Amino acid sequence: MVDTRMAYPKHWFVLVTVVLESILTYLFLAALLDPNSILREFWLAICPLIGAVIFMLEVPPIFTAHSLTSTGLRLRMGLLVNEEIPFDAIREVKETSTARGGLRIGIGVKYIPTTRQLFVTSAFSNLISVQLENAVSIGRLRRHRVEEVIINVNFPRGFLDSLEPMINRPGEG
């Protein structure tokens, strides 16, 4: 099986990158062009550092996508997450929505320990719930026991149609 890419919306990453990098560029240039500024050295030092961090967190997700491999569902969101969930570990996939609200969940990767949910989202629509048979450890720096992964994709129906035949359901073959 050839890997099937499942893109997710990237407009928030682009918007955040453009806005924040523009603000930092303005502050850097203002400090550079005003030799009498009190905080000139501070802004000249801190703007490139903050800019580099924002760039590393916000730009790589623009160039990555989730994918279906021959062995499982690969979750990719830039440097934030890169995990593969075997098809055997997936119990159910379905379209969903969140009652928590977009501002509480945010953009990127967020773990909610009380419900053992991992949100890998870049928008607040087209959400897919991937419920797992057993808790699986997922994460880069801190691994969390996850029972449900919430992701969003551009075309949820196509994603479900591609993933559902791959899931190992009890009593089927």
Amino acid at the residue 159: F
What is the rounded distance in angstroms from the CA atom of residue 39 to the CA atom of residue 47? 12
The answer to whether residue 169 scores a pLDDT higher than 80 is no
Asked if 18 and 103 sit in the same domain, the reply is no
Distance in angstroms (rounded) separating the CA atoms of residues 116 and 68 = 23
Same domain, yes or no, for 31 and 83?
A: no
Both 31 and 107 in one domain: the answer is no
Does 80 lie in the same domain as 26?
Answer: no
* Residues 50, 74 within the same domain: no
Query: Is the same domain home to 57 and 134?
Result: no
Tens of pLDDT, residue by residue over 31-90, are 999 888 888 899 999 999 999 999 888 888 888 888 888 888 998 888 878 889 999 889
Q: Is 115 among the domain residues?
A: yes
pLDDT at 149: 92
Q: What is the three-class DSSP state of 80?
A: coil
Rounded to an integer, what distance in angstroms lies between the CA atom of residue 90 and that of residue 160? 13
81 and 161 part of one domain: yes
Q: What is the pLDDT of residue 173?
A: 44
Are 35 and 109 in the same domain? no
DSSP states of 88-130 as a string? Answer: GGEEEEEEE--SS-HHHH-SEEEEETTTTEEEEESSSSSEEEE
| Residue 3 domain flag | no
Residue 51 pLDDT: 94
Identify whether residues 78 and 142 lie together within a single domain: yes
Tokens 């992964």 correspond to 149
pLDDT at 25 over 90: yes
Domain assignment present for 1: no
Contact call for residues 105 and 119 (beta carbons, < 8 A): yes
Residue 33 included in any domain = yes
Q: Report the domain count for the chain.
A: 2
Mean residue pLDDT of the chain comes to 84
Residue ending a domain, choose from 20, 36, 61: 61
pLDDT for the residue 63: 87
- Contact 62/12 with Cβ under 8 angstroms? no
pLDDT of 27 higher than 80: yes
Residue 102 has pLDDT above 60, yes or no: no
Structural domain span for residue 89: 64-166
